[in-house]
């Protein structure tokens, strides 16, 4: 994983989150707060995709190429569980 890129994005997200907190404290216009929250969600989704892409291209490929059927099943189960979790409303 490009750890530095992920950490940089998380630092930016942290700054945005602090900004939203300040907006709420200062009773900013609700729609402005909601737009910022949406931007934070989008940024977090991007970080998630960076990490998932790295996982798929390293851990999952290694497990699928391994001799161990248990390891292959384990990583596929992890991915299925992840998608089940993120698909819940």
Q: Distance between CA atoms of 72 and 63, rounded to whole angstroms?
A: 5
Is 9 in contact with 43 (CB distance < 8 Å)? yes
- pTM comes to 0.81
pLDDT tens digits for 19-48?
Answer: 999 999 999 999 999 999 999 999 999 999
Please give the pLDDT value at position 26: 98
Domains and CATH numbers, the chain: 3-87 (1.20.58.1000)
What integer is the mean pLDDT of 2-6?
92
pLDDT score of 89 more than 90: no
Please give the pLDDT value at position 74: 94
Please give the pLDDT value at position 46: 94
């Amino acid at each position: 994983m490009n750890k530095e890129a992920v950490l940089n994005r998380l630092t930016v997200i942290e700054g945005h989150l602090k900004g939203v907190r300040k907006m709420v404290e200062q009773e900013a216009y609700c729609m402005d707060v909601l737009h910022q929250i949406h931007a934070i969600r989008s940024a977090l989704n991007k970080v998630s995709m960076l990490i998932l892409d790295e996982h798929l291209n390293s851990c999952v490929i290694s497990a699928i190429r391994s001799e161990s059927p248990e390891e292959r099943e384990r990583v596929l189960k992890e991915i299925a569980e992840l998608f089940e979790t993120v698909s819940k409303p």
